[in-house]
Amino acid sequence: MNQNDLRILLVSPLPPPAGGIASWTQQYIDWSEKNNLNVEIINTAVIGKRAERINQKTKILDEIKRTKDIIKDLKTKMNKFKPQIIHLNTPCGKLGIIRDYLCAQIAKRNAVKLIVHYRCNIEDQVNQSVISRFFLKRLSKIADLNLVLNSSSNQYLMKETQSNSIITANFISENFVLDKNKEISTDIKIISFIGHVQRTKGILEIVDAAKHLPDITFKVAGPVSNDISEIDKPSNLIFLGSLSKQDVKNLLQESDVFLFPSYTEGFANALLEAMAMGVPIITTPVGANVDMIESIGGLVVEVGNSKSIIDAIKNIKNSNVRSIMSTWNINKVRNEYTIEKVMKKLILYYINELSK
């Protein structure tokens, strides 16, 4: 069997709203169209006000409607498309993991191979909820193959459910990877952040670092949550709002350091993009962050500790140190995280499951 013989039903959100999983889904679909991989999509994107602005509270009626629509679409495409593989992306949310389990049951009743892809740091999402852990165990056991984003999720899934999993990285387009060495400035002039501008991304620590380092410009890109938009920030910290892909690339091109002090992650696309553009990294030891930079492509700081960030910025001032980090990051992305390499692995997983 080769990839042209496959029929994949992808259960995953598409934009809008933009986000890590949705962006991954769109790239997966685009690559499949170019490479003759036969894929149908069940769009699981959020609806209502949650689709318009980050951090909106979940409304039960919206979630009930969303679940009904997803299950109806799944049953319809199961009958018409007759997939061999269902690739189910789950962010492991409290209500979402129940819905994802219902979708998994439909797959198994129809004797379709089920791959469950956990698009989060699993422990952070489910550990505080008995119900979430219950459905996590049921979901992982019903799956033919479990895919996770990082080593901590791999370990947690084994500990909590006794289920094996394969660590599978996110991907990036080859066109986004810098095709030459990045020019490294003598001094650190611009430090950037890209992502949702909210407390759990470490924004307050970025604000504090900017106050203590007035000679450096901190550029923060992404949609701003209500509570952060009202905070008192220093003049050397600039909120850029949401940026186009080209503007993101331009921002990373001018950045001397990428600061990503998040409290929780699965596999951060923003960090991946910064590495692809050869930007030295300062980040926290959550999700796949350490797996990605391996303490070579940047420095690791404590979660919620602005002094740790300030010290790291001072420790990364040497341009030779940043040059080594920059080159290593580009090579790491080119060797492991391009869409061609990751998609070929996924296709191999599909074919292996069908051959069992």
CA-wise closest residue to 272 among 285, 287, 289, 284: 289
What per-residue confidence (pLDDT) applies to 69? 95
Phi and psi torsions of 299, nearest 5°: -115, 150
- Whether residues 130 and 189 share a domain: the answer is no
What per-residue confidence (pLDDT) applies to 61? 86
In order along its 356 residues, the chain shows pLDDT tens digits of 889 999 999 999 999 877 789 999 999 999 999 999 999 999 999 765 544 554 556 678 888 999 999 999 999 999 999 999 999 999 999 889 999 999 999 999 999 999 999 999 999 999 999 999 999 999 999 999 999 999 999 999 999 999 999 999 999 999 999 999 999 999 999 999 999 999 999 999 999 999 999 999 999 999 999 999 999 999 999 999 999 999 999 999 999 999 999 999 999 999 999 999 999 999 999 999 999 999 899 999 999 999 999 999 999 999 999 999 999 999 999 999 999 999 999 999 999 999 99
What per-residue confidence (pLDDT) applies to 51? 47
The three-class DSSP label of residue 264 is coil
What per-residue confidence (pLDDT) applies to 339? 98
- Whether residues 295 and 330 share a domain: the answer is yes
Q: Using CA atoms, how far apart are residues 202 and 190, in angstroms rounded to an integer?
A: 18
- Whether residues 192 and 293 share a domain: the answer is yes
Q: Using CA atoms, how far apart are residues 206 and 305, in angstroms rounded to an integer?
A: 10
Residue 99: how many CA atoms within 13 Å on its side-chain side? 26
Boundaries of domain holding 250: 174-336
Q: How many independent structural domains does the chain possess? A: 2
Q: Please state, as a whole number, how many other Cβ atoms lie within 10 Å of the Cβ of residue 353.
A: 15
What CATH number is given to the structural domain containing 350?
3.40.50.2000
- Whether residues 123 and 216 share a domain: the answer is no
Q: Using CA atoms, how far apart are residues 90 and 154, in angstroms rounded to an integer?
A: 15
- Whether residues 21 and 161 share a domain: the answer is yes
- Whether residues 27 and 156 share a domain: the answer is yes
- Whether residues 158 and 26 share a domain: the answer is yes
Helices (H), the chain: 20-34, 60-81, 96-109, 122-126, 130-142, 151-161, 203-212, 226-229, 245-254, 269-276, 289-293, 306-315, 319-336, 339-354
What per-residue confidence (pLDDT) applies to 48? 57
Q: Using CA atoms, how far apart are residues 30 and 16, in angstroms rounded to an integer?
A: 16
What per-residue confidence (pLDDT) applies to 228? 95
- Whether residues 152 and 191 share a domain: the answer is no
Q: Please state, as a whole number, how many other Cβ atoms lie within 10 Å of the Cβ of residue 64.
A: 12
- Whether residues 345 and 246 share a domain: the answer is no
What per-residue confidence (pLDDT) applies to 59? 78
- Whether residues 17 and 149 share a domain: the answer is yes
In sequence order, what DSSP letters do the residues of 64-104 get, joined into one string? HHHHHHHHHHHHHHHHHH--SEEEEEE---TTHHHHHHHHH
- Whether residues 235 and 167 share a domain: the answer is no
- Whether residues 25 and 137 share a domain: the answer is yes
